[in-house]
Structure 1
Amino acid sequence: MIQRIQTVFLFLVAVAMVLVMMFPIWHQVNPGQTQMMTLDAWSLVTKDVASGEVIESDNKMIIGILAIVAAILALVSIFQYKNRSKQMLINMINSLVMVINVGMIVWMSHSANEVFNPAVNGAFVLGFWAIFAGMVCNLLANRFIRRDEMLVRSVDRIR
């Protein structure tokens, strides 16, 4: 039953996590417009705006690793269609991984903002919002899996 609607939602979760890995998550420009700080899934980079030269780079691979784990969990969950309770458990774990990822991103961006330019907040961009799209798709997938489970149970009662 891989052609169910929850399969589409779980695939969209995996796509959203790939978007998190590919696009920037947060960026901030200092008041003089001379330096820009960008957080992506792999690093926190400070660049000179005029020359494009990297001034500082910090490793932030935990965001990328959590995004990879969430994408893998979504893909594994697609193929657990025969065991709906296990599929729902994997999706709940995946939701937890995505919430931890959002927490890590907010914490890292807040810490970087305090050091770089505490007067102005940075902007969250596509990579950050893709996580929320993935969380909504994961929630919808769980809803449809639960609906299938309830349908199977009601048919079993009739027999």
Structure 2
Amino acid sequence: MIQRRQSLYLLVVVILNGLLLTYVPLWKQQDNSWIFASDFVESLIAIIASLVLALISIFLFKKRKLQFVLGRLNILINFFAIGFFVYTALNLPGEMEISEKGIGGLIPLVSIVFLALANKAIKKDEDLVKSVDRFR
């Protein structure tokens, strides 16, 4: 059910995480080469897990409670990715000489916003179904 709001929000998360893996750089090294999220095993696992959870959540539209729980788990995974990016960026060698960061470190934050919006829409759907069940 791609026409539902939460499905569209989750699709945006999938697209953002896919872009983060290959196209959006995190920062530039001293030799002017860009570093991507796929260059680190920890961030690669976190971003792929977030991408897969969001993709699975899209197809669990009939199981709203499980979809809600997977959304919360996905938010935690994105917080881990942000923490890893910040920690790694603060410990870069030669930080005083070069300080050019890419936009990639902010993508998990944007993903968290869209996951929160999706969870809000899932909760709204669940409340609507509960209110209709009361009338039966």
CA distance in 1 between counterparts of 2:97 and 2:68 reads 41
Structure 1 or 2: larger helix share? 2
Contact 1:17 1:68 in 2 (8 A): yes
1:137 alignment partner in structure 2: 114
CA RMSD of aligned residues (A): 1.8
CA distance in 1 between counterparts of 2:86 and 2:100 reads 11
Contact 1:66 1:101 in 2 (8 A): yes
CA distance in 2 between counterparts of 1:158 and 1:38 reads 58
TM-score by length of 2: 0.89
Residue deviations 1:58-88 (CA, integer Å, cap 9, x gap): xx22112211110000000011111111000
Deviation at 1:156, TM superposition (A): 1.2
CA distance in 2 between counterparts of 1:124 and 1:151 reads 44
1:65 alignment partner in structure 2: 45
1:14 alignment partner in structure 2: 14
Of residues 106, 124, 146, the one that matches 2:101 is 124
Alignment identity in percent?
Answer: 31
Structure 1 or 2: larger strand share? 1
Q: Which runs of 5+ in 2 are unaligned?
A: none
CA distance in 1 between counterparts of 2:110 and 2:4 reads 19
- Compare CA radii of gyration and give the structure with the larger one: 1
CA distance in 2 between counterparts of 1:121 and 1:158 reads 64
2:32 alignment partner in structure 1: 36
Letter in 2 for 1:84: R
Q: Secondary structure at the match of 2:75?
A: helix
Q: Secondary structure at the match of 2:10?
A: helix
Q: Which runs of 5+ in 1 are unaligned?
A: 30-34, 44-59
Number of aligned positions between the proteins: 135
Residue deviations 1:85-113 (CA, integer Å, cap 9, x gap): 1000001000000000110111111111x
